[in-house]
Structure 1
Amino acid sequence: MARIHARVEINEPALERETGSIFRAKHRSITRRIANQARADVPVRTGNLGRTIGELPMVYRPFHVSGGVEATADYAAPVHEGSRPHLIRARRAQFLHFWWHGREVFRREVFHPGVRARPFLRNAAKRVAAADPDVRLDYVELD
C-alpha cells in the first residue's frame, strides 16, 4: 500500500487579494439588483416609499462581505411587516380631525383595522437570489 504525505500551505493574504475584488463586485451587483427589484415591487400610493429604498454601505472583512437594502420611510416597517388592528387616540389635541366620505369628522379615537404584510424587500431579495446561479439559497438569510 502506498502512502502519500502532502503539505498544503495557503497564502491567505494573496488569496484574499485575488478573491476580495470578486466578492465585492458580486455583492455590489446583487445589492443593486435587489434595490431595483424592490423599487419595482413596492406598493405605490405617492411614490415616497419607493424613493426611500437604498443600498446600505458594504462592509468588507477578509473573506466576508455584508451589506443590505433598506427603506427609510417612517411607515416602511408597517407596510413591509403589516400591522395588527389597533386604536388610534388623539394625543396632541382633544380630537382627531379628518375627512371621511366628503364629511368633516372629529373623533377622540378611531379603530384601525390593520393592514396585511406586503414584504417587498424580502420578495425582491428572494427573486434576485433565486435568479442568480452563484447564490446558494440554503446559505441565504432573509430576516
Structure 2
Amino acid sequence: MSVDVRLDQGRLSRFLRLRGGIVERRLARRTSRVADIARDLAPGSMGDYVDWHIEEGSRGLEGVITCDHPATRFVLDGTRPHIIRPRRKKALRFEVDGQVVYSAIVRHPGTRANNFLGQALRLGR
C-alpha cells in the first residue's frame, strides 16, 4: 500500500500569502517589533517618524519600515565637516550652555553615522 502526497505549489503559496494569514500575522509581529526597537534607538524626535506596513513585493509579502524625518539620511550616513550659513536672516541663532548666541556662520564638525534602522533590524531578529 502506498500513499501519495501532492502539493499544489500555487495553491499553497496563495494560502500562505492570504491577507490575515499565518505568514502575514507573523511578519507583521516581527516588523512591528523591529519598528519599536528603531523608535527607541532613533535620536531626538526622529522615533516619532518611524512607521511600518506590510506590502506585496515582487517575492511575496514584505515588512517595510520607514522613517520620513527630513534629517534621516544625514543621521544614517553621517555628515562631513561643513559650514552652515543663514538662509533667510543675517545671523544664525542658537543656544550654548543656556546662553543665546548669534553668528554669521557656524563651522559644524560633522556627525558620526548612526544606522539605527540597521541596528534595529539586527536586534529584532
Indicate the TM-score class for this superposition, using the shorter chain for normalisation: 0.7 to 0.9
Q: Which runs of 4+ in 1 moved over 6 A?
A: none
What is the aligned length?
Answer: 118
- Choose from 101, 118, 122 the match for 2:118: 122
Q: Deviations over 1:80-100 (max 9, x none)?
A: 321111110111122222333
Deviation at 1:125, TM superposition (A): 0.3
**Structure with greater proportional strand content:** 2
Q: Which runs of 5+ in 1 are unaligned?
A: 1-7, 130-143
Task: State TM-score, norm by structure 2.
Answer: 0.76
The within-5 A match list for 1:38-53 is 38-43=38-43, 45=44, 48-53=45-50
Given the superposition, is the C-alpha separation of residues 11 and 37 from structure 1 closer, same or farther in structure 2, using an over 3 Å criterion? same
Q: CA RMSD in A?
A: 2.5
User: 2 CA distance for matches of 1:11 and 1:62?
Assistant: 21
Deviation at 1:34, TM superposition (A): 0.3
User: 2 CA distance for matches of 1:85 and 1:36?
Assistant: 31
**Structure 2 counterpart of 1:11:** 8
Given the superposition, is the C-alpha separation of residues 12 and 95 from structure 1 closer, same or farther in structure 2, using an over 3 Å criterion? same
Given the superposition, is the C-alpha separation of residues 37 and 97 from structure 1 closer, same or farther in structure 2, using an over 3 Å criterion? closer
2:37/2:120 contact within 8 Å kept: yes
**Structure 2 counterpart of 1:67:** 63
User: 2 CA distance for matches of 1:102 and 1:28?
Assistant: 44
Task: State TM-score, norm by structure 1.
Answer: 0.68
Give yes or no for the alignment of 1:110 onto 2:106. yes
**Structure 1 counterpart of 2:22:** 22
User: 2 CA distance for matches of 1:79 and 1:115?
Assistant: 8
Deviation at 1:107, TM superposition (A): 2.2
Q: Deviations over 1:122-143 (max 9, x none)?
A: 10101122xxxxxxxxxxxxxx
